Structure 1
Amino acid sequence: MIIEQIITRLERISPEGAGNRHLERVYLPSDDLVKRIQRVVTDHGRELGISLRQPMDLSHGDVLYMDDHNMIVVEVLPEDILVIRPRSMREMGDIAHKLGNRHLPAQFEDDRMLIQYDYLIEDMLAQANIPYLRENIKVSQPFRHIGHSHG
């Protein structure tokens, strides 16, 4: 089966709309959410080819396939994340500057800054006495690595 578009999002389907459909999940690391073309296997062993016609990222909860009996949904795997909670805008700016110098992408959820685990950043946060936690969590979007040169 080839998936060429995202049908909807799981949270947009009411319990009545979902009915008694058999739910299968495609477990992906966040890095694979940016891949437009890939081969995956559901948790029930069904092989799928994903070849999205529109250039877009996959997200946790995307419904890839749905018929009267089945539904296939993207599930993002948890990953090792540093959850940083800056106490001020100045602290936020300082952290962002240091992350930018290391070319590490960040995501923001409410008052939290999320980055993929990096022992050097963890050490820097501890030395600077900046509040953070190391957690295994599911991110809803891929971390975007933005490349540039210092030339």
Structure 2
Amino acid sequence: MIIEKVVGNIETGDMRALHMERVYLESDQLVKRIQRVVTDHGKELGIRLKDQQDLVDGDILYMDEKNMIVVSVKDDDLLTIMPTSIQQMGDIAHQLGNRHLPAQFEGDEMLVQYDYLVEELLQQLSIPYKREKRKVKQAFRHIGHSHD
């Protein structure tokens, strides 16, 4: 089966009565428009998205009257950063920006993929953080740039 578009997301509709198969993806796979995957029931699928959109956790790849196939993102190894002041937030945001590390925000927390150098930096700056396995809703996207 070839999937060419996302038909919805389980967070926006009532789909509880349907049989659900899951496709487990690493967060960096969410940005790939073409890939081959296998569901948790062993069904092989080809994904070839026509639209320029990233997959997100809960996306429905296929649905009929009884069955659906849903994207489920695996946990990432993250540093969850919890600055206690605007000064700490500015300091760490500046440092991470200089390293071109993508970050995500959930409430008052900044999420970055684990990097031992960032962990050492957080310790040096005395910025509260924790290392944890956690699911992110979307991929960490690196943004291109130049220093011209």
The TM-score, its normalising length taken from structure 1, stands at: 0.94
1:95 alignment counterpart:
92
Of 86, 102, 105 in structure 2, the residue corresponding to residue 105 of structure 1 is 102
Deviation at 1:53, TM superposition (A): 1.3
Deviation at 1:106, TM superposition (A): 0.4
1:46-90 residue CA offsets vs partner (Å, 9 max, x unmatched): 111111111000000001101112110000000100000111222
Deviation at 1:147, TM superposition (A): 2.4
Structure 2: unaligned runs, 5 residues or longer: none
What's the RMSD between the two structures over aligned residues?
1.1
Number of aligned residues? 148
Of 12, 18, 31 in structure 1, the residue corresponding to residue 16 of structure 2 is 18
Q: What letter corresponds to residue 88 of structure 1 in structure 2?
A: S
Determine helix, strand or coil for the equivalent of 2:119: helix
- How far, CA to CA, are the matches of 2:16 and 2:101 in structure 1? 39
- How far, CA to CA, are the matches of 2:110 and 2:118 in structure 1? 13
Identity of aligned residues (%): 64
Where do 1:61-80 residues align within 5 Å? 61-80=58-77
Determine helix, strand or coil for the equivalent of 2:69: strand
Q: What letter corresponds to residue 66 of structure 2 in structure 1?
A: H
Stretches of 4+ moved more than 3 A in 1?
A: none
Determine helix, strand or coil for the equivalent of 1:18: coil
Deviation at 1:18, TM superposition (A): 3.4
Larger CA deviation: 85-94 vs 54-63: 85-94
